[in-house]
């Protein structure tokens, strides 16, 4: 087991603070240049589109952690209101909402439906913003941790990503195939930097500056079988921070709940890779990405690179965002 000193040493090695200026809030997304965007577009050869987003609904992966429920979907207007609630609804409804709606629904063929969702922004397929995780009272690039307030993140929020978006070359590293696993990487064997290199070599793909690397662990396929959002798995070891740093990638995403291995590997802290990536490197993490169909296609044609389009939603001051990432080959 490594120590907090080992962790801090690696933090010093991979820290990107000041690399793109003292006011930078994009972090490693700065590696995505216009040339990179153009290169990625050139990878589209067959028009095959893969949606990497999962369903946002009541049977999603949340619930096991009490602070994160699954999305709650509420209809705020539906066409049935025209036939029933406008006529028979309670007085408060008739005197307020119905008065407005009757303008649309009475003596008028027009009908409409509206809805809303209440959910943690971390509920399903998501990006962690750089302000999601910190330590020693500092966010990425040295911004004070108390700049994330009850009104939201004034630094490193997900809204800081939007001007640049996330459109780049994606590279899939298929750990399931590499380990010959049945469905998913069972708990107990964290993925090491050396193994990431082995997988890339075996797939004959290079990981380059500005790429988003997708780690296929099979966890999402497993979740669809047993609906157990707490199923332990093997994820990236904390030492992979060096690998992600050395390859100058733009971001990393996986098909499991945390990207990193559930076993910390550092005595005295949980989630060291989150801290090294988000706070020290300024590298965003994508979680709960569905890589099943994409990995099957990559195995079939031997092509593990593609155009990836995955812009977060622009929630002001939010520390994360749902996303529906698209891979195109």
**271 makes contact with ligand UVW (CB under 6 A):** yes
Whichever of 14 and 285 has its CB closer to ligand UVW, that residue is 285
User: Least distance to ligand UVW from the beta carbon of 68, Å?
Assistant: 8
Is residue 257 within 8 A of residue 217, CB to CB? The reply is no
**274 makes contact with ligand UVW (CB under 6 A):** yes
**280 makes contact with ligand UVW (CB under 6 A):** no
Whichever of 261 and 287 has its CB closer to ligand UVW, that residue is 287
Whichever of 252 and 257 has its CB closer to ligand UVW, that residue is 257
Whichever of 128 and 159 has its CB closer to ligand UVW, that residue is 128
**174 makes contact with ligand UVW (CB under 6 A):** no
User: Least distance to ligand UVW from the beta carbon of 300, Å?
Assistant: 31
In the sheet with 326-328, reading across from the earlier edge strand, the strands are 49-51, 326-328, 305-309, 167-174, 212-216, 251-254, 284-287, 126-128, 320-322
Which of 287, 290, 297, 305 is the binder for ligand UVW (CB under 6 A)?
A: 287
Whichever of 105 and 315 has its CB closer to ligand UVW, that residue is 315
Q: Which parts of 233-262 interact with ligand UVW (CB under 6 A)?
A: 257-258
User: How many amino acids of this chain bind ligand UVW (CB under 6 A)?
Assistant: 9
Whichever of 218 and 286 has its CB closer to ligand UVW, that residue is 286
Is residue 237 within 8 A of residue 192, CB to CB? The reply is yes
Piece of the chain touching ligand UVW by CB under 6 A; list 15-23, 128-136, 213-221, 244-252: 128-136
Residue found under tokens 């082995």: 198
Which of 70, 122, 292, 295 is the binder for ligand UVW (CB under 6 A)?
A: 122
**128 makes contact with ligand UVW (CB under 6 A):** yes
Whichever of 60 and 304 has its CB closer to ligand UVW, that residue is 60
Measured at CB, which residue is nearest to ligand UVW?
258
**26 makes contact with ligand UVW (CB under 6 A):** no
Whichever of 218 and 272 has its CB closer to ligand UVW, that residue is 272
**133 makes contact with ligand UVW (CB under 6 A):** yes
User: Least distance to ligand UVW from the beta carbon of 132, Å?
Assistant: 6
Q: Kindly list the residues in this chain that would bind ligand UVW in the complex (CB under 6 A).
A: 122, 128, 132-133, 257-258, 271, 274, 287
């Amino acid at each position: 087991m490594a120590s907090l000193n080992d962790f801090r040493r690696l933090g010093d090695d991979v820290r990107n603070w000041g690399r793109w200026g003292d006011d930078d809030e994009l972090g490693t997304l700065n590696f995505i240049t216009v040339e990179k965007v153009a290169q990625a577009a050139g990878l589209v050869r067959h028009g095959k589109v893969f949606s990497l987003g999962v369903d946002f609904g009541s049977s999603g992966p949340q619930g096991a952690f009490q602070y994160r429920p699954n999305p709650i979907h509420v209809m705020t207007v539906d066409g049935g209101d025209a036939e029933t609630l406008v006529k028979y609804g309670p007085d408060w409804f008739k005197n307020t909402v119905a008065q407005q709606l009757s303008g649309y629904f009475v003596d008028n063929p027009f009908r409409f439906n509206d809805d809303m969702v209440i959910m943690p922004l971390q509920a399903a397929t998501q990006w962690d913003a750089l302000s999601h995780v910190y330590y020693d009272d500092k966010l990425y690039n040295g911004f004070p941790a108390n700049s994330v307030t009850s009104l939201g993140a004034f630094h490193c929020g997900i809204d800081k990503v939007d001007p640049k978006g996330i459109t780049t070359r994606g590279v899939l590293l298929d750990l399931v195939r590499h380990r010959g696993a049945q469905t998913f990487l069972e708990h107990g064997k964290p993925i090491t930097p050396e193994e990431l290199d082995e997988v890339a070599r075996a797939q004959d793909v290079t990981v380059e500056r500005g790429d988003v690397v997708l780690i296929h662990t099979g966890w999402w396929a497993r979740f669809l079988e047993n609906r157990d959002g707490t199923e332990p798995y093997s994820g990236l070891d904390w030492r992979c921070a060096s690998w992600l740093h050395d390859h100058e990638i733009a971001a990393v995403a996986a098909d499991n709940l945390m990207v990193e291995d559930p076993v910390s590997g550092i005595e005295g802290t949980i989630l060291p890779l989150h801290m090294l990536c988000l706070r020290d490197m300024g590298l965003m993490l994508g979680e709960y990405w569905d890589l099943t169909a994409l990995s099957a296609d990559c195995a079939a044609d031997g092509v593990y690179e593609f155009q990836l389009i995955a812009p977060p939603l622009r929630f002001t001051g939010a520390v994360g965002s749902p996303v529906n990432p698209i891979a195109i080959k």
